[in-house]
A and B are shown apart, each in its own frame.
Chain A
Amino acid sequence: MSDNKRIFIKGNEAIARGALAAGLTCYFGYPITPQNDIPEFLSAELPAVGGEFVQAESEVASANMLLGAAAGGARAMTTSSSPGISLMQEAISYMAGSDLPAVIVNISRGGPGLGDIGSSQGDYFQSTRGGGHGDYRTMVLAPGTCQEGYDMMIQAFDMAFKYRNPVLVLGDAIVGQMKEPVTPWVPESISNYGVEDWCLSGAVGREKRLLKSLFLEEGALAGQNIHLQEKYTAMQAEARADVYACDDAELVVVAYGSIGRIVKSSVRKLRSEGHKVGLVRPLTLYPFPATVLEDLAKAGKRFLTIEHNCGQMVEDVRLSIRKYADSDFHGHMPGELPGSDDFVQPILARLGR
């Protein structure tokens, strides 16, 4: 166990340290802003604890190396930013189709295309709808603080092995580049959930194993899809959200990640002026904390979704509350850095209705 003294580090470094605490043994990546602090840190610290660090020739290679390491049962990860994550989608689909555990970190930036290197939440759809081809989902965790960046890496590895599924940690340039105090910790025990029973470890003395996403036999692909859907149904139990000041709220704002915490400042300011507004900050984006929102909708709340994009998570909010309510949307354009003042007026405008 490490001591509990707080350290002052960037979100990117918190994510790298969290991965080490989660038992990371293999890292593959290719440089891209604004996540380069992660490979920079791990290039020194991972070999120092006996792990393997590889700077690959491309994101495509990184993701396929990750697939290989995952098939071998390793606790492996890659990190990148939006355009790089797009390049990885083929391998992520293959990993999902092959039931492979892997962790992928996206410190997202502005898009579409090369966009800019500033903060954005434009990758919500890509992250929560699979991202590549086929009917699959990755679990998606959304840190809003440096401490959550650390904690969610430990959670991400645990979930990846528990469900044998890729897990995405979706941050952004704000979470990656800001510094905060972080209390490092190491889990008391790390479970691989019986990885030795299925991984490719050399077949001497046992039956050979085959991990694949190709199912040509009659009924085989349907069977695999049924299996995957059952897995995603089971994953719904992992949905989490941070609920703030919603009990007596007339209006509930829904915002995630860095925007969730920035909106919290706006909510606090409006609360201090007597306005009845609350905040739901989803911590898991897939599975989405739908029941939390549905219960609030049943209780008669109105909703406003705020995102640093042109309207993506709002679709999940609307699906969650559709039987009882609807959600307004306020989007902050990618390419412009948001602050708490940007959200006070949009919230006030909905409160006044």
Chain B
Amino acid sequence: MSLYQDVIIAGFGGQGVMLIGNLLAYAGMEAGLEVTYIPVYGPEMRGGTANCTVVISSEDIGSPIIQRPKSLIAMNQPSMDKFQPRMQDGGIQIINSSLVDPALADPRVITYSVPANEIADGIGNTRMANMVALGAYVQATGAVPLDVVKKSLTSVISSHYSHLIPKNADALQAGADHVAAQMR
């Protein structure tokens, strides 16, 4: 069966959007798929927001740069404002409702609201909001199995922070659980 998924992951600098982009792409590779990861490169980098694009496919990937994504992870309001209008109809977006107003979600796309900061706070550190959002994304799209993402943590997080891996795995799970409850 042919599989294709692409996602823009966006937030402000420091929210770890590049890290979860790397993690998702790495997990895609570990799942035996073709993947590309490209950070935003150019003047946009200087606006205080960061974003990256990940493509996961069962066949070789053409463009690593996606103008109208099938899915979006918006970690803050400016990210949603910028990328939601570019999404394909019927696409899936994860919005970090701790910082994004769910009332602004476009009915054109399927939106999962995830209070990622609050959930991460409950696990022990707000900075894991990125992992909560990625867990939610993986649950909502089925792009790669969640356990492969968890196993990939050791390859993406530097050894200096390896003691944080169990908590990050918890954050991934919490995000997935939050979306699973909405999907029921």
Contact = CB atoms under 8 A, between A and B. Distances in A.
Interface of A: 6, 8, 34, 116-119, 173-174, 177-181, 261-268, 337-342
B63 A118 contact: no
B41 A116 contact: no
Interface of B: 22, 25-26, 29, 34-39, 41-43, 61-68, 155
B34 A340 contact: no
A304 B43 CA distance: 30
B130 to A, nearest CB: 18
A178 B37 contact: yes
Contacts of A268: 62
A265 B35 contact: no
B41 A177 contact: yes
A173 B62 contact: no
Given A261-B63, A339-B67, A340-B63, A179 B36 contact: yes
B168 to A, nearest CB: 18
Contacts of B34: 180-181
B67 A173 contact: no
28 contacts: A6-B29, A8-B25, A8-B26, A8-B29, A8-B37, A117-B41, A174-B65, A177-B38, A177-B39, A179-B22, A179-B25, A179-B36, A179-B37, A181-B34, A261-B61, A262-B62, A262-B63, A262-B65, A263-B62, A265-B62, A267-B62, A268-B62, A337-B42, A337-B65, A340-B62, A340-B63, A340-B67, A341-B67
B133 to A, nearest CB: 20
Contacts of A34: 41
Nearest to B64: A178
Nearest to A279: B62
Given A34-B41, A179-B25, A339 B36 contact: no
B41 A337 contact: yes
A267 B66 CA distance: 15
Contacts of A117: 41-42
B17 to A, nearest CB: 14
Q: 10 tightest A-B contacts by CB?
A: A265-B62, A340-B63, A264-B62, A265-B63, A339-B65, A262-B63, A339-B67, A179-B37, A178-B38, A341-B67
A265 B63 CA distance: 6
Contacts of B66: 339-340
B41 A119 contact: yes
Nearest to A33: B41
B144 to A, nearest CB: 13
Nearest to A119: B41
B112 to A, nearest CB: 25
A72 B65 CA distance: 43
A339 B41 CA distance: 13
Nearest to A261: B62
A174 B61 CA distance: 14
A6 B66 CA distance: 24
Nearest to B45: A117
Contacts of A340: 62-63, 65-67
Contacts of B35: 8, 180-181
Q: Counting chain A CB atoms within 10 Å of each CB, which of B25, B63, B64 scores highest? A: B63
A341 B155 CA distance: 33
Nearest to B68: A341
A180 B53 CA distance: 12
A181 B63 CA distance: 15
Contacts of B67: 339-342
B29 A173 contact: no
A173 B34 CA distance: 21
A337 B40 CA distance: 10
Contacts of A178: 36-38, 64
A40 to B, nearest CB: 16
Contacts of A266: 62-63
A263 B155 CA distance: 32
Contacts of A181: 29, 34-35
A279 to B, nearest CB: 9
A179 B37 CA distance: 5
A174 B42 contact: no
Contacts of B62: 261-268, 340
A35 B22 CA distance: 20
A339 B25 contact: no
A267 B34 CA distance: 19
Contact of A179 (B38, B43, B155): B38
A264 B37 CA distance: 17
B25 to A, nearest CB: 6
A261 B34 CA distance: 14
Contacts of A338: 65
A325 B35 CA distance: 38
Contacts of A116: 42-43
A268 B43 CA distance: 30
